Amino acid sequence: MSKVLNYFEEAYDELIHKVTWPTWSELQQTTIITLVSIILLTLLIFAMDGVSELVFETFYNFFK
């Protein structure tokens, strides 16, 4: 049981004294970058899906 308590004490000490937390402005900036990246990737995948659907429909209709 002492190993478990020691683990939690060391984890708490590391979180309080050794971890460098981002500032509020850094957090906002990285959140905006992440959201913009997700939106762009979503639009790219949506466009690729539409193009592949068009290509396959054309291909299947050609041999129909």
Q: What are the pLDDT digits (tens) for 6-60?
A: 999 999 999 999 999 999 999 999 999 999 999 999 999 999 999 999 999 999 9
Q: How confident is the model at residue 64 (pLDDT cuts 50, 70, 90)?
A: confident
Structure tokens at 45: 């995948």
Whether the model pTM is above 0.85: no
pLDDT score of 63: 87
Angle at 57 between CA 54 and CA 63, to 5 degrees: 140
Contacts of 30 (CB under 8 A, 6+ apart): 22
Q: How far apart are CA 44 and CA 49, in angstroms?
A: 9
